């Protein structure tokens, strides 16, 4: 069973969010270990661009694995302020360290997010 860190919040689309969830704060976004395991070996990541606006629940990139191409959804609304450039050369980092070096992008929140799940609720939907 995949690890679900208690300090993070999660979307039903299997993204995680780390940071203070207040308007104008910056949060870090990635995909969960559960999603990374389901995808298999990730071979390509299409990242949003710095300066892009992302909306909660909307597609903001793609993850390509040896099994499939999957859309990535933003769990929050705001402006992308950083992307993990390391993933261009080493997309497998997501599968190796989903909650650490495998982070995907950072967003300055336009509004306080709603509908995110705590670790216990997220673990239930992945059982």
Is residue 2 predicted with pLDDT exceeding 80?
Answer: no
4 inside domain: no
95 inside domain: yes
Exposed, middle or buried: residue 107 (CB in 10 Å: 0-12, 13-18, 19+)? buried
97 inside domain: yes
Is residue 33 predicted with pLDDT exceeding 90?
Answer: yes
C-alpha Rg value of the chain to the nearest Å: 13
Q: Which domain holds residue 64?
A: 10-111
Is residue 84 predicted with pLDDT exceeding 80?
Answer: yes
Residue 17 has what pLDDT?
Answer: 98
Residue 127 has what pLDDT?
Answer: 86
Reference 116, options 18, 2, 1; nearest CA is: 18
The CATH number assigned to the domain holding 47 equals: 2.40.50.100
Is residue 1 predicted with pLDDT exceeding 70?
Answer: no
Which structure tokens are listed for 28? Answer: 């870090």
Q: Look at the chain and report how many structural domains it folds into.
A: 1
Task: Tell me the pLDDT tens digit for each residue of 69-81.
Answer: 999 999 999 999 9
What does the pLDDT average to over 18-36? 96
Reference 10, options 56, 65, 47; nearest CA is: 56
Q: What is the mean pLDDT of the chain?
A: 95
Is residue 117 predicted with pLDDT exceeding 70?
Answer: yes
125 inside domain: no
């Amino acid at each position: 069973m995949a690890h679900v860190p208690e300090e993070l919040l999660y979307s039903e689309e299997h993204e995680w969010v780390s940071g203070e969830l207040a308007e104008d704060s910056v949060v870090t976004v990635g995909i969960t270990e559960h999603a990374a395991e389901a995808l298999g070996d990730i071979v390509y990541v299409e990242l949003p661009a710095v300066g892009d606006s992302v909306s909660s629940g909307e597609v903001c990139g793609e993850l390509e694995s040896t099994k499939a191409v999957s859309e990535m959804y933003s769990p929050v609304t705001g402006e992308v302020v950083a992307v993990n450039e390391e993933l261009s050369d080493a997309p497998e980092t997501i599968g190796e360290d989903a909650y650490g070096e495998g982070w995907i992008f950072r967003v300055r929140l336009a509004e306080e997010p709603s509908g995110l799940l705590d670790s216990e609720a997220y673990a239930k939907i992945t059982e």
